[in-house]
Amino acid sequence: MTAKQQAIKDLERARTLLGAHLHLATEDLNPKVMISRSVREHPWIWVGAAALGGLLLVRSLMPSPRSKIERDNLGASATKGGLIALILSPVLGMVRQEAWKYGRHFLQNYLTQHLSQHEGERPRA
């Protein structure tokens, strides 16, 4: 057997081994397999992490009641904010109405100009 034939044979054997190792590696790196193995080997860590995550979720969804001092300070600023909103609500309504009129007018002008440019370009039947 020549050196070239031996090298080709070694290369094919290495490719076969590489394919087998790649298949084993993909089985080991499958997320479903990794998580199930981790849960099976360390169940108490998973239970603790789930409890901690649930506690953090509940705490974030239901904040603790605020103290009286914070409520008193926030009440004053809420009154000011309500007054400002009461004053600005008609102004915001007028701004919204004018923006709608401007946008509609702009769109009508654009479409009129665009359609008038293409008026004479109709295909012949």
Report d(CA 115, CA 42) in Å as an integer.
70
CA nearest neighbour of 46 among 30, 28, 54? 54
pLDDT digit string, tens, across residues 75-102: 555 566 677 777 778 888 888 899 999 9
Q: Which residue reads 């590489």 in tokens?
A: 18
pLDDT digit string, tens, across residues 33-71: 888 888 999 999 999 999 999 888 888 887 666 665 555
73 pLDDT higher than 70:
no
The pTM for the full model equals 0.35
Residue 118, classed as helix, strand or coil, is coil
